[in-house]
Amino acid sequence: MSRYETVIGLEVHVELKTQTKLFCRCATSFGAQPNAHTCPVCLGHPGALPVTNEQAVLLALRAALALQCTIPPVTSFDRKNYFYPDSPKAYQISQFAHPIGRNGVVEVAFGRTTERIRIHQVHLEEDAGKLIHEPYRSLVDLNRAGTPLIEIVTEPDLRSAEHAKMFLEQLRDIILYCGVSDGKMEEGSLRCDANVSLRPIGATTLGTKTEIKNMNSFRAVQGGIAYEVARQTALLDRGERVVQQTRRWDEAQSITIAMRSKEQAQDYRYFADPDLGGIALSDQLITQVRDALPELPLAKRQRYEQQYGLSEYDAASLTAHVALTKLFDEAMAHAADAKTVANVLLGDVCAYANAHDAPLSTLPITGAHIAQLAALLAQGTISQPIAKKVLKQTLQTGEAPNDIVATQGLTQIQDSDAIDALVTQVITAHPQSVADVRSGKTQALGFLVGQVMRASQGKANPALVNELLKKRL
Amino acid sequence: MGHIWDAPLAHIARSVRQKELSVTELVAHALARIDTVDRRVRAFLTVDGDGALARARLLDAQGTDGVLAGLPMAIKDNISTRGIKTTCASKMLEHFVPAYDATVVARLADAGTVLLGKLNMDEFAMGGSNENSAFFPTHNPWDVTCVPGGSSGGSAAAVAAGEVLFALGSDTGGSIRQPAAYCGVVGLKPTYGLISRYGLVSFASSLDVIGPLTRTVEDAALVLGVLAGHDARDATSASITPPSYVEALTGDIRGVRIALPREYVAEGIDPDVRDAVFAARAVFERLGAHIDEVSMPHNEYAVATYYIVASSEASSNLARYDGVRYGMRVDDAQGLQDMYTRTRSVAFGEEVQRRIMLGTYALSSGFERAFYGQAQKVRTLIAQDFRAVFDQYDIIIGPTAPTAAFAMGAHTSDPLTMYLNDTYSIPMSLAGVPALSLPCGADARGMPVGLQVIGKPFAEVDVLRVAHAFEQATTHHLRRPALRDAYAAKEADA
């Protein structure tokens, strides 16, 4: 058992899902020719001026409210001054004095317990460009320069690498639920830096921290922090000091490497950007955006367990994807049976999506379809095998299950006389199997049931078939 | 051509619209004047003769119904012109050709004007004499041994010397008004936000404005009408619909309440300038205006406040000139840091470097509160002084500058004296209010003296009406520098 308590705070950059950049009308799309999406404004040409993208402000406000932040009456932009070739104006337009949100909180489930991780602030800022280093020269691509980001800064409330990863995953889910970002770490639309320090257990002051950058996946976040905790533990155990510095996670070697120490820290000379006025955030606007927020993942998960009696596993699986919860909620709006709907979604629907490598949101199925299917099953109108067949057709064509059942005459046969006639046929056709059953080989009963079902084209009520067969043998 | 060249802009434009006057002839005349006069004045950094003539022929062929139809003009070289070098009179941008037109350039083109070229200035608009141009100084047409003022010295000199019919300048702390005063022309600094800054190379973003330099108040009103109005590309541009400025020129200022701040005619002012201001006061009284002396107690802090605010913003605005994407770059740098440092040390002039250092210091962590933060508070107090006076008065008058144009080289070794020269023009910039300079006399040497007419925010209508009434009642604006007539004499000889 370690003698130290780990203290972690995260700085998470989230690229906002806007059509255009934060201060000009260039497209934000990913993967274009270098410098194709640029103009005098995002190139920092002399005399060009920024104009704020209102959509980005609304998305940032939505994120800040989802993180339960306090929203100021007026939010404004500041300049963060520093020289670097990927920064075309030699300052980044960011928020310093009046960020869009402060003092928020995220409720995070760590296994069975739920903790409140405090959010220090949420602020809007523009992204920098990208440098491409070649032997003997470096190139600058400013397509990404000016892309809107929010930076979410947590308080130092996380206590382990694993919790940091779980927090980040759940934060990403919140961002996705709110439609604020694509949240793709691989494409850089979600980026995370971590501040890590150790202190003796029971201590109240913070130890010296290091900042870890370049963690490009959830696994890297956990790996980078775990490495840093081990490195700092070893240092302290040897009686050495932790040096305050910025370190880079090297994925290939699975280690962190020192980049620069705090003594080389920049003075960013923040001041209010005189090119941009303040943005008033009226109570009316805040209420409107807050009211439009979707139910967040954790709340939804707890509700699924309590309201519908779903298992923790099913509730967690359903809430792991926005598209899945949408279908579930839609189906439940039609008063369907929760357990049946969950089974259909987590079973055949997910399997189909995986097999066809198709995102759920692109499939033509709706919550109403799922509700119909569940009702058809619950009423005994169709059998399980038929249900699978109907579902597959719905997934392929978008036809409603009710219509499929009606037009193809798939309604389950409940009539004993009709089934009995089929039973007679099967018994006559398979004397050997009949003999086997009578001599105690029960597997043969299954075969006969199957034959009756096949003769009914799957429509016979399997329970009734079983009962009638047994009676006759 | 000589006679029509002296006519009001509205008259010339009307003649062009009615096809009584060819734009090509007008432009050829302007180019001939530049050819004769500018070797002594040196107002132009770039003359685009071919472009101007091509444009003139196009306008003649197509006809134009613009408010400023056919008028040859030129623009200060810190306003972005697509395809034409925009150097800010700096080595840094010596070969820089913009990819886009400033909003004002587009509006002037829409109004039918012809751009003759780009005008000299103090480097990045920092200075009050045009001696900070990295290329060469401009000379005052009234006396070529004197400065034309600055930073829009090229604009004022070109108008005074009759090389253009009007010009655009920019004003951050007096850069339109002071050269207008020194060169005996009209210079208008409008309310901050009335004219789009999109395409004006930023010096101090919270202070910079674009404005016209013209021969008369009526011309200023006409040009302002074309320039003013909201621009979606400038977030600090005001959402107002400009009124008709020309219609405001009624000549009637009876009952107008005018304030003359004691601080504007106190110590430090040249007696000839003070006499001219007092004479102007008498003119206004004769015209039926009501004049009182008032006090603007925070005036004395204006210069210090300005040099902190403007330099701080400049230190950030000029950071983009780093040698990476455009502009000058030293070619033998040893790594990135060396490239930044040496490019900026070589390509920026002394005054620009001084202000970048001043501003960087004022924004530094640990000093920001004492300097930039404090300056913002004092700026608020200065703006409150204006509000207090404007609660009771319609207009404030005062001198534009403490003296008339000084000799070249007189203050180049003494930046502080140069800064104090802006005492009367800076407060209006800090408060964002409109102010116009127009000729109101001459000093003992015969150099023009400027009167400043200051109004409430967005009350350009009042400023123009009062200035116009004064102009109509006096003859100062009719005085012309002898050099301006050099071309006319040559034309007469031919």
Mean pLDDT on B256-274: 93
pLDDT over 80 at A158, yes or no = yes
Q: Which residues of A106-142 are buried (b: 16+ CB within 10 A; e: fewer)?
A: bbbbbeeeebebebbbbbbbbbbbeeeeeeeeeebbb
Q: How confident is the model at residue A105 (pLDDT cuts 50, 70, 90)?
A: very high
pLDDT of residue A84: 94
Contact A52 B235 (CB under 8 A): yes
Lowest mean pLDDT among A314-328, B42-56, B183-197: A314-328
Of A47, A90, A275, the CB nearest to B102: A47
Of B96, B98, B232, the CB nearest to A51: B232
Three-state SS for B255?
A: coil
Interface check A88 vs B, CB under 8 A:
yes
DSSP string for A66-132: HTTPBPPSEE--EEEE---TT-TTSEEEE-SSS-SEEEEEEEEEETTEEEEEEEEEEEEEE---EEE
Contact B322 A140 (CB under 8 A): no
pLDDT of residue A335: 77
Contact B316 A81 (CB under 8 A): yes
Q: What confidence tens digit (pLDDT) does each residue in B357-378 have?
A: 999 999 998 888 889 999 999 9
Q: What confidence tens digit (pLDDT) does each residue in A326-340 have?
A: 999 999 998 778 999
Contact A275 B236 (CB under 8 A): yes
Q: What confidence tens digit (pLDDT) does each residue in B222-243 have?
A: 999 999 999 999 999 999 999 9
- For residue B79, the Cα-to-chain-centroid distance in whole angstroms is 12
- Domain extents for chain B? 2-298+379-493
Mean pLDDT on B56-84: 97
Interface check B348 vs A, CB under 8 A:
no
Nearest to A61 by CA among A291, A296, A297: A291
pLDDT of residue A117: 97
Of B86, B234, B372, the CB nearest to A49: B234
pLDDT over 90 at A51, yes or no = yes
CA atoms within 13 A on the CB side of A379: 12
Of B313, B320, B368, the CB nearest to A44: B320
User: Which two structure tokens, joined as six digits, stand for B67?
Assistant: 């408010």
Contact B360 A269 (CB under 8 A): yes
Lowest mean pLDDT among A28-37, A282-291, B446-455: A28-37
pLDDT over 70 at B1, yes or no = no
Percent of chain B past pLDDT 70, that is, above it, reads: 98
Mean pLDDT on A102-125: 93
Annotated catalytic residues of B are: 76, 151, 175
User: Which two structure tokens, joined as six digits, stand for B90?
Assistant: 């700096």
Contact B205 A85 (CB under 8 A): no
Four-residue CA torsion sign, B227, B229, B232, B233 = positive
Q: How confident is the model at residue B112 (pLDDT cuts 50, 70, 90)?
A: very high
Interface check A79 vs B, CB under 8 A:
yes
**Cβ count near B492 (within 10 Å):** 9
pLDDT of residue B2: 62
- Closest chain A residue to B372, measured at CA: A271
pLDDT of residue B186: 98
pLDDT over 70 at B493, yes or no = no
| Whether A22 contacts A145, CB under 8 Å | no
Contact A140 B363 (CB under 8 A): no
Mean pLDDT on B19-42: 96
Q: How confident is the model at residue A431 (pLDDT cuts 50, 70, 90)?
A: confident
pLDDT of residue A420: 84
pLDDT over 60 at A462, yes or no = yes
Q: How confident is the model at residue B494 (pLDDT cuts 50, 70, 90)?
A: low
Contact A40 B99 (CB under 8 A): yes
pLDDT over 90 at A323, yes or no = no
Interface check B374 vs A, CB under 8 A:
no
Lowest mean pLDDT among A224-238, A387-401, B391-405: A387-401
**What ipTM did this prediction achieve?**
0.95
Question: B158 vs chain A: nearest CA distance in angstroms?
Answer: 23
What are the beta bridge partners of residue A8? A158, A196
Q: How confident is the model at residue A1 (pLDDT cuts 50, 70, 90)?
A: low
Task: Identify the DSSP state of A434.
Answer: H
Three-state SS for A211?
A: strand
pLDDT of residue A188: 83
pLDDT of residue A160: 96
Mean pLDDT on A302-330: 90
Query: Strand B114-119 to strand B166-171: parallel, antiparallel, or no bridges (unpaired)?
Result: unpaired
pLDDT over 80 at B72, yes or no = yes
Of B235, B316, B364, the CB nearest to A50: B235
Q: What confidence tens digit (pLDDT) does each residue in A338-357 have?
A: 999 999 999 999 899 888 88
What are the beta bridge partners of residue A246? A211, A260
Dihedrals phi, psi of B399, to nearest 5 degrees: -75, 155
d(CA A53, CA A274): 17
Q: Would you tell me which residues 113-152 of chain A have a C-beta closer than 8 angstroms to some C-beta of chain B? A: 140
**Average pLDDT along chain A:** 91
Question: B356 vs chain A: nearest CA distance in angstroms?
Answer: 13
CA atoms within 13 A on the CB side of A50: 32
pLDDT of residue A89: 98
Q: How confident is the model at residue B299 (pLDDT cuts 50, 70, 90)?
A: very high
Lowest mean pLDDT among A380-389, B173-182, B279-288, B430-439: A380-389
d(CA A428, CA A441): 18
Q: Which residue in A271, A273, A276, A279 has the most chain B C-beta atoms within 10 A of its own C-beta, making it the best mutation to test that interface?
A: A271
Mean pLDDT on A168-193: 90
pLDDT over 70 at A441, yes or no = yes
| Chain A residues close to B93, C-beta within 8 Å | 46
Q: How confident is the model at residue A378 (pLDDT cuts 50, 70, 90)?
A: confident
**Average pLDDT along chain B:** 95
Size of interface A-B (CB pairs under 8 A): 104
What contacts A358, CB < 8 A, 6 or more positions away?
Answer: A352
| Angle, helices A283-291/A54-66, rounded to nearest 10 degrees | 70
Percent of chain A past pLDDT 90, that is, above it, reads: 65
d(CA A365, CA A349): 9
User: Which two structure tokens, joined as six digits, stand for A217?
Assistant: 């996946």
Of A47, A269, A275, the CB nearest to B235: A275
Domains and CATH numbers, chain A: 9-183+190-197+264-288 (no CATH), 295-408 (no CATH), 416-472 (1.10.10.410)
Contact B322 A48 (CB under 8 A): no
pLDDT of residue A450: 86
| Whether B80 contacts B69, CB under 8 Å | no
Q: Tell me which CATH code domain B2-298+379-493 carries.
A: 3.90.1300.10
**Cβ count near A351 (within 10 Å):** 10
Q: What confidence tens digit (pLDDT) does each residue in A260-288 have?
A: 776 566 799 999 999 999 999 999 999 99
| Whether B420 contacts B303, CB under 8 Å | yes
Residue entry with tokens 């001054």: A81
Q: Which residue in B316, B339, B344 has the most chain A C-beta atoms within 10 A of its own C-beta, making it the best mutation to test that interface?
A: B316
Nearest to A159 by CA among A338, A337, A5, A342: A5
Q: Would you tell me which residues 218-277 of chain A have a C-beta closer than 8 angstroms to some C-beta of chain B? A: 267-271, 273-277
| Chain B residues close to A278, C-beta within 8 Å | none
| Whether A325 contacts A319, CB under 8 Å | yes
